[in-house]
Amino acid sequence: MINNKKISKFAISIIEDLKKNNYQGYLVGGCVRDLLCGLEPKDFDIATNATPEQIRKVFKASRIIGKRFKLVHVFNRSELIEVATFRSGDDINNDGNLVQDQSGKIIRDNIWGGLEQDSYRRDFTINSLYYCPLSKKIVGHEDGMKHIHEKKVVSIGDPKKRFAEDPVRCLRALRFSNKLNFKVDPKIKDAIYEKGHLLSGISNARIFDEFCKIFLGGMAEKNYRKMTSFGLSKYLVTTNPEKSEFTSRLIIEALRNTDKRLKNNQSVTPGFLIAALLWPELLEKSIAKGEINLRKFFRSMDQVLRKQQKITAIPRKFHSYIKDIWVLQLKLHSRIGRQPYKTLKHPRFRAAYDFMLIREKAANEINNLGKWWTKFQRNDDNLKKSLIKIINENDTQESFKTFGFSQELR
Ligand code: ATP
Ligand code: MG
């Protein structure tokens, strides 16, 4: 059923070593699900009855991580595999290793258990299958296989309770349904409507991780549309698509561009996407009397970032990158004298230019700025000179006041 050739050799060797030490060891979760669905797993997670300390002893190159959810990273030169101890999911002794808050949210889960208990505390039946590559047997939730065949995302237990325990499961249900082309169980839909609002209480670090999985996995547009239809996109992006025609088009164009790049094996970064998604927010804050006010523009950059930062942590290293892309949008509009040469040399020029093309598409802008810059990048000094000359002769007053954003400002 599952072809072991598709499994990381390192992961299999870890399971062999666990067995040699008389522990159980299984591949579990997303990798088993993806293999059964004919997809290539992103990573291989292992579950075992060994405690983190015991796992640590079996593998020299390993490290215990996490507090809320303790597990062990086992690594070699090129791979890192997460090995987690079976958890029981309930706290019979109530000794504080499983902690829930008022809404029922689990804030700590470190009670060890057996495989069966572990299979019930997982989120969806399709994520609750365990595969032993040595015996080639699959065990786990009794409905897991059935729901893979029926192409359904079904919660383990009452989704209202499970989503209150961990609201991120709302996002996960929709993401898996898109990724696998599975239907979402109607009970899950109801639970999302009822419990989705609890996403506002999730840490920005966790939402950022989920943001990356949702938007940088090749299904950004589809995921955004689905999240929006359940009213969940506001927990991922501060920009309100209903603000204007341009805003909603820009969001979609930016997501489409991300999907397209991934398809073409081009790099993507959350920084670029966040710069694009927040642009309409920045513009809105920068307008005075129908024009861009530069002071407002510069002052608003941090404000707009901070607002988004409240919902998705934005790693430090992206902040200046995002602001560079924004400031360069202004610079791309000043094409006289030496300025275009300076702009072209900027280390973020390429990203800024790519984003300008997305803006033009979203705005249906026909002022040819994109075309101009496409030509200006060519390795041809005479062409560069003549391009600048044309601009100087046609002195485009209008575009100085609005930086050519006229369509975007409506
Ligand atoms: P992907 O890696 O494609 O996002 P995945 O299913 O592997 O999908 P992970 O976040 O890597 O997702 O988690 C691995 C497994 O851990 C899941 O398959 C599931 O069994 C369990 N799991 C992860 N997150 C949760 C959660 N929030 N609640 C319950 N179980 C979870
Ligand atoms: Mg995974």
What is the percent of the chain where pLDDT is above 70? 92
Closest CA to 227 of 176, 277, 275: 176
pLDDT in the model for residue 370: 83
Mean pLDDT check: name the lowest of 124-138, 182-196, 355-369.
Answer: 355-369
For residue 79, CA distances in Å to 18, 43, 82, 260 come to 18, 9, 10, 27
Q: Locate the ligand 1 atom nearest the alpha carbon of residue 45 and give its number.
A: 14
Q: Please, which residues have CB less than 5 A from ligand 2, an ion?
A: 30
Q: Locate the ligand 1 atom nearest the alpha carbon of residue 84 and give its number.
A: 16
**How, if at all, do strands 129-132 and 25-28 pair?**
antiparallel
Spell out the residues 6+ positions from residue 174 whose beta carbon is closer than 8 angstroms to its own: 184, 192, 223, 226, 227, 230, 232
Task: Give the CATH fold of the 261-409 domain.
Answer: cca-adding enzyme, domain 2 (1.10.3090)
Mean pLDDT check: name the lowest of 4-8, 122-126, 128-132, 292-296.
Answer: 292-296
Q: Is position 45 annotated as part of the catalytic site?
A: yes
Architecture per CATH, 1-150: 2-Layer Sandwich (3.30)
Please compute the mean of the pLDDT values over residues 362-379 and round it to a whole number: 80
Q: Where are the domains of the chain?
A: 1-150, 261-409
pLDDT in the model for residue 82: 97
pTM, rounded to two decimals: 0.91
Computed from CA positions of residues 247, 251, 257, 260, in that sequence, does the dihedral angle turn out positive or negative?
negative
Q: Is position 259 annotated as part of the catalytic site?
A: no
| Whether the CB of 118 sits within 6 Å of ligand 1 | no
State the chain's mean pLDDT as an integer.
91
**Cβ atoms of 70 and 33 closer than 8 Å:** no
Residue 183 host element (H or E): strand 183-184
| Angle (nearest 5°) at CA 88 between 84 and 90 | 135
Please compute the mean of the pLDDT values over residues 9-28 and round it to a whole number: 98
Residue 116 host element (H or E): helix 115-121
Q: Name the closest ligand to CA 159.
A: 1
What separation in Å is there between the alpha carbon of 89 and the centre of ligand 1?
15
Q: Where does the pLDDT of residue 367 fall: very low under 50, low under 70, confident under 90, or very high at 90 and above?
A: low
Mean pLDDT check: name the lowest of 123-127, 162-166, 334-338, 370-374.
Answer: 334-338
**CA–CA distance, 166 with 175 (Å, rounded to integer):** 15
CA atoms within 13 A on the CB side of 372: 20
